[in-house]
Amino acid sequence: MKEQLLIKFAEVFGDARDAQVYFAPGRVNLIGEHTDYNGGHVFPCALTIGTYGVARKRQDRALRFYSMNFEELGVLSSSLEDLKPASQAAWTNYPKGVMWAFQEKGMKLPCGLDLLLFGNIPNGSGLSSSASVEVLTGFILKDLFGFSVSNQELALIGQFSENRFNGVNCGIMDQFAIAMGQKNAAIFLDTATLQYEYAPITLDHAKIVIACSNKKRGLGDSKYNERRSQCESALAALQKVVDIASLGELDEDAFEQHKAVIGDAILIKRAKHAVYENRRTLKAVEALKAGDITGFGQLMNGSHVSLRDDYEVTGPELDALVEAAWQVEGVIGSRMTGAGFGGCSVSIVENRAVDSFIAQVGEAYKQKIGYAADFYVVEIGDGPRKL
């Protein structure tokens, strides 16, 4: 892969002298969805698929970008003097946003870059291709220019750039999972405090299978920001009667006792998901620690039902994937993953059932939705690195 990328870099930018090659993973969240901006817990892991980058410092202030995933766009040019979001800048808004964020944090870039990217994460799939690009860019800037930033700080810079530069009000989970990934472990993260622990995922007799719905979605123009503001409204109402800073501080009993104060049936449903999903995530990690993979799978299923009925972010495509998965013998658990409204499902499937899972779910999905889903049997990998 490294040699192929350097050959392509030379083809696009003239030569590959002094070019360095990097990788940042994608991520999948096993449970804990739409809890990260509600002060709750999440349980993501980094994947062995992700984004590759080849970068080289320039002698001037120019920025030149090329993506092997969007070759029809050719080389997109900019400069360090022009770090502002623009629709015609397409995918380069993500690396430019991170460069802008570094400078906002006092880390001035001394010169421009030539940057080539190649991702083997499906675009718009909900496996965080954008956060992967953000963490990758931060890691490249850290390495090429010698900035003293930890991987955890790279995650926060990526989130800051997505919030402030790209206008998506995302939580910390995606960037954190990618920057802090560890092979064969998921990250149990308290998004309110950023305290985390690695929980080993030992799937001796099972695999993680991601099904991509192939329904494209963009976070900024989806209902993501709407759901976030609905939760903020519910929280503001609850804060009149309980002393909490986030919905993640409530358990189920406290929520049921005080929910009437919210006063709006839709807002009650949204807050219920945030509270109950957070408690499901705590229980899921306990189940995993106890070796109860069946219990973990049941909690995944419950998560999907809540995302479908209370948070209403699944849609017909994700429901078709998950409901078909539940019918396959050997499926331990299945749910949508990511922001929703398209994207992917994640399933834990016994080894013996993986082929029949792909065949059955694929057939059911195509019959119901009218086009095919794509399937990826994935492994849990490490965070960003230089190759």
Which residue numbers are catalytic?
174
Query: Per the structure block, which two tokens stand in for 181?
Result: 């990934």
Helix and strand element counts for the chain (H, E): 11, 13
| Separation CA 131–CA 172 (nearest Å) | 10
Strand 113-119, strand 62-67: pairing: parallel
| Range list of β-strands (E), 9-167 | 20-29, 41-42, 44-57, 62-67, 76-79, 113-119
CA 122-131-317 angle, 5° bins: 40
